[in-house]
Structure 1
Amino acid sequence: MMRTILRHALLAALPWLSALPALAHIEMDAPTPRYNDGQNKWCPCGGGGDGTRNNAGCAIESSDPDRGSTSTTFAPGSTVTVRWRETVGHTGRFRVSFDPDGADQADFDANILLDIADPSGGSGNTGNGNNWAVDVTLPTAPCTTCTLQLVQVMNGNTVDEVPSLFGTSTYFQCANLVIGDGGEGEGEGEGEGEGEGEGEGEGEGEGEGDPAEGEGEGEPAEGEGEPGEGEGEGDAGCRGCTAAPSALFVGVPALLLLRRRRGAGVGR
């Protein structure tokens, strides 16, 4: 009797249970996720639905009307660490993709940044429980409404990369990104500094030159001397001489001649 009651109660609850949101199997920690309501089954970003629309709407931008204002800004070409927790272990693949404008699954499929194996069990790759962390490189083109997508594909295949998410059992998470314009900046600055230094040096040099050559001409000096009468001329070609020697030679004989005349007069 009790079993019958429980069976009927369970059957009565099935419609309600099927309408409950699909609880999170992956929870993104970084970058900041768009949704943190635990609804992972709504393609392409996990949230915004009632959990009954599993993998539906992947061909349209179904999540962008509820994009919200939360976003993380990175420089062009940055290396970003994506962190998440695998709360329910499955076997398959993890994939990180990028949409430069919005959240369209076709764009995510065309811009895959990373595709790695998700082995059985619930252990992550960090050595810290169920925590996962991977590095991806963002594009260099600036964007203001770009989106990073993390998916967990539960297809049991850990070898082959995921060609498409259509028709697969998948859990979704997204993060809104802004890639800033890598422009140029200007700035001014002042600085002061002091310094001391010592130096030693040696040098050698050689030089060549021609000796200077010159010619000079001089004219004979002329001079007159007293007492007495007479004229004298300096020796031609006497460089550095004066007229004084010639005047001396002329003046001495004249003086002797004068004395002789005076002596003759006295004797008369």
Structure 2
Amino acid sequence: MRFGLRYFILSLLLVSVPAFSHARFRMHEKTKEGKIVFTSNTPPRNDSTGLKKGPCGDVARTATPTVFKPGQEVDVQWEETINHPGFYSIHFSKEKDADFTVLLEKYEDTLNDSLMYGKTHTYSAKVKMPNIECDGCTLQLVQHMTEDPQNPKLYYSCSDIKLVADKPSTDKPPVVVPPEVPEPEKPAQDKVKPAKPTDVKVKQND
């Protein structure tokens, strides 16, 4: 009986713990040597996967946004820590986590095997950044859980970015001075002195 009770309590713990973990922008992973390696160019603001309040779970913006170019195509990666049916969407805000626009409307959740012992489902999609510049823009990942299609649950994860265009160079090009080309030498001319007139006497006939 005690064994059955312990098993029941353990089962409840295993069921209840995952309720706080769902999806987030991919953050990092450990190598075989135990080192932490960042594997995403759009890391989340924090490592929480249970942010239910939009748009970013009340998580403050970080001081280290990732820099991209306007119009750049970015490979966005995220991970699911607890399997749920549904789909994902990715959104963009120019500033202050407001007025989000859709970059990726629907990415189906296609991996449905069970997740245990730290295993995750990893997804990636290419999205094109808006052709604007901004210092405080945000990428937002939304997980739409569809166990109850009439009342889907939403989970959020945000990543801080900047869009900065290449600036034209202000350096003046170096002035190239052409090498001096010597003038061709004129052919030498012999100087001939004119002969002096001599006194010529002309004999006149009487």
Asked if Structure 1 and Structure 2 have the same fold, meaning a TM-score greater than 0.5 normalized by the shorter chain, the answer is yes
Percent of aligned positions with the same letter in both sequences?
27
SS in 1 for 2:78: strand
Aligned pairs (5 A) from 1:19-30: 22-28=20-26, 29-30=40-41
Aligned: 1:37 with 2:48 = yes
Residue equivalent to 2:72: 78
Say how many residue pairs are matched.
158
Q: Which has the larger radius of gyration?
A: 1
Retained in 2: the 8 A contact 1:26–1:40? no
Residue 74 to residue 120, structure 1, CA distance change in 2 (3 Å) = closer
User: Any unmatched runs of 5+ in structure 1?
Assistant: 47-61, 124-128, 158-165, 193-223, 229-268
Residues in 1 aligned to 2:75 and 2:7: alpha-carbon distance in whole angstroms = 48
**Aligned with 1:90: secondary structure?**
coil
More helix by share: 1
CA distance in 2, matches of 1:77, 1:112: 15
Task: State the distance in 2 between where 1:21 and 1:33 align.
Answer: 20
Runs of at least 4 residues off by over 6 Å: 7-10
Rounded to whole Å, the distance in 2 between the matches of 1:117 and 1:99 is: 22
Structure 2 runs not aligned, ≥5 long: 27-39, 115-119, 177-201
Q: What residue is the counterpart of 1:226 in the other structure?
A: 204
Residues of 1 paired with 2:141 and 2:95: CA distance? 16
Pick the structure with more strand per residue: 2
Query: Are 1:112 and 2:102 an aligned pair?
Result: yes
Change (3 A) 1:83 1:191: farther
Letter in 2 for 1:44: P
Out of 113, 126, 130, the position equivalent to 1:135 is 126
Equivalent position of 1:2 in the other structure:
2
Does the C-alpha gap of structure 1 residues 226 and 5 become closer, same or farther in structure 2, counting only changes over 3 Å? closer
Flag the structure with more relative contact order, 1 or 2, with Cα contacts below 8 A and sequence separation at least 6.
Answer: 2
Residue in structure 2 matched with residue 91 of structure 1 by the alignment: 85
Does residue 121 of structure 2 align to residue 173 of structure 1? no
The separation in 2 between residues aligned to 1:178 and 1:112, in whole angstroms, is 17
Deviation at 1:176, TM superposition (A): 0.7
Aligned to 2:143: 152
Q: TM-score, normalised on structure 1? A: 0.48
Deviation at residue 134 of structure 1 after TM alignment: 1.1
Offset of residue 191 of structure 1: 9.5
